[in-house]
Chain A
Amino acid sequence: MLNGFLKKFLGKSDSKDVAKKRLKFALIYDKLEVSDETLENLHRDIVEVISRYFEIDHDAFKLDIHRSDDLSALVVNTPILSAKHR
């Protein structure tokens, strides 16, 4: 009890609060993870959609997920060779 009082007095946090905070971050990170297979499928689908409207350089097509502390971004970069006129 005295120990607990000291902990409170000194402003130390409970270990379970640390656990909860770590868990929340771990779960957020886990959910941002994308498998290689998913990325390959996405790559294929995006190329297919863009190719309906543009001639693109398939080899130069790039798809990445950029992560920073508080957000994740899907970055697609492709050179366009020409527009398709329909």
Chain B
Amino acid sequence: MEGKIIVVTSGKGGVGKTTATASIGAGLAMEGKRVAVVDMDIGLRNLDVVMGLENRIVFNVVDAVKGKCKLAQAAIKDRRINNLFLIPASQSDNKNVLIPEDMVRFGETLKAEYDYILMDCPAGIERGFENSVAAADEALVVCMPEVSSVRDADRVIGLLYARSITPKLIVNRIVPEMVERGDMLSHEDIVDVLSVDLIGLVPMDDNVIVSTNTGNPLVLQKESKAGAAFLRIAMRVNGRTDLPIEVPRAQGKFWKRMGTKFGLGK
């Protein structure tokens, strides 16, 4: 069976694309699929450090696309999670060394080798975006519950529609206490503004920083709520569309929550 290419994008930088790519990629591999995650942020690579694989880079995506090495030489095997491979970005080139036509061709090579290929798209809507989207079959748009991020997501969603890709939305870094207090856009507000299908809600979680500090996969941290949320997103990507979307809730404080329920908290 031929693999599927999914681009993870957002328009705005710093909303959690790389963490999402690493975690969903890991989740799909844990579901038993053969997965490649590709860092398309050429010149500013980061997926390697997030995954803790930075010491094992020999070849990169530019080498593989340009035929300077075989695909298998550029793909770094994750030792903790079976069937997960990283194709790192080049750090010395810039985004213009690749063109979308290169990526369409490279996409075919990838699809013959892997079940799922996740493209970690750079911020922006220029060449790096074009290259990341060129061969994509599906798209995940990551946004935060905050005005500038939602606006950029809307722009990117429009560009994806123009390429006949219907994206699915991930709302990342939700702070339930702020949502309940009325100081943060809820996922319903965001879906209402963007008119797009949701595929998962991820709470703000200190474990994300801890996991990038150490390079250990977030999805392997048992106590991580964000990790668990990304695992559920991976399962939905992998066809478990029946899996309900869990809404992050504030911790404890029973009476406060009752208060909110009866209109006192707002």
State the A residues within 8 Å of B (CB).
Answer: 1, 4-5, 7-8, 14-17, 19-20, 22-24, 26-27, 30
The total of Cβ contacts below 8 Å across the A-B interface reads 55
Which of A5, A15, A17, A19 counts the most chain B CB atoms within 10 A?
Answer: A19
Instruction: Identify which of residues 142-177 in chain B touch chain A, using a CB-to-CB cut-off of 8 Å.
Output: 146-147, 150-151, 154-155
Interfacial chain B residues near A8, Cβ < 8 Å: 263-264, 266
Least CB distance from A75 to B in Å reads 25
Complex Cα gap A14–B192 (Å): 17
Contacts of B154 in A (CB 8 A): 27, 30
Residues of B within 8 A of A1 (CB): 256, 259-260, 264-265
Partner of A4, one of B184, B186, B193, B266: B266
Distance of A15 Cα from B189 Cα, bound (Å): 13
Chain B residues with Cβ under 8 A from A5's Cβ?
264-265
Contact indicator B193/A27 (Cβ below 8 Å): yes
**Taking the complex as formed, is B79 at the interface, i.e. its CB lies under 8 A from any CB of chain A?**
no
Given contacts A19-B147, A23-B151, A30-B154, contact A4 B181 (CB under 8 A): yes
Residue of A nearest to B257 (CB): A1
Q: Which of A4, A7, A22, A30 touches B147 (beta carbons < 8 Å)?
A: A22
Question: A8: shortest Cβ distance to chain B, in Å?
Answer: 6
Contact A20 B193 (CB under 8 A): yes
Q: Which residues of A contact B192 (CB under 8 A)?
A: 20
Contact A16 B266 (CB under 8 A): no
| Contact of A4 with B265 at beta-carbon distance under 8 Å, contacts A23-B147, A23-B193 already known | yes
Q: How far is the CA of A30 from the CA of B184 in the complex (A)?
A: 23
Q: A1-B264, A24-B193, A27-B151 are in contact. Are A15 and B183 (CB under 8 A)?
A: yes
Which residues of A lie under 8 Å from residue B265 when comparing CB positions? 1, 4-5
A73 to B1, CA, bound (A): 51
Report if A30-B263 is in contact (Cβ < 8 Å); known contacts: A16-B183, A19-B185, A20-B189: no
CB distance from B176 to the nearest CB of A (A): 13
Give A7's nearest chain B residue, CB to CB. B266
Q: Does B14 contact A (CB under 8 A)?
A: no
Whether a CB of chain A sits under 8 angstroms from the CB of B32 is: no
- In the A-B complex, the 6 residue pairs with the smallest Cβ-Cβ separation, listed nearest first, are A14-B182, A4-B265, A1-B259, A15-B183, A20-B189, A16-B185
Residues of chain B with a CB closer than 8 A to A7's CB:
266
The residues of B that contact A16 with a CB separation of less than 8 Å are: 179, 182-186, 189
Cross-chain contact of A26 among B151, B189, B264 (Cβ < 8 A): B151
| With A1-B256, A4-B265, A8-B266: A15-B182 Cβ-Cβ less than 8 Å | yes
Cα separation A26 to B155 with both chains bound (whole Å): 11
By the criterion CB–CB under 8 Å, are B264 and A20 in contact? no
**Residue pair A17, B182 in contact (C-beta under 8 Å):** yes
Chain B residues positioned under 8 Å from A30 (CB to CB): 151, 154-155
Please give the distance in Å from A66's CB to the nearest CB on chain B.
24
Return the chain B residue nearest A20 by Cβ.
Answer: B189
Chain B, residue nearest A15 (CB): B183
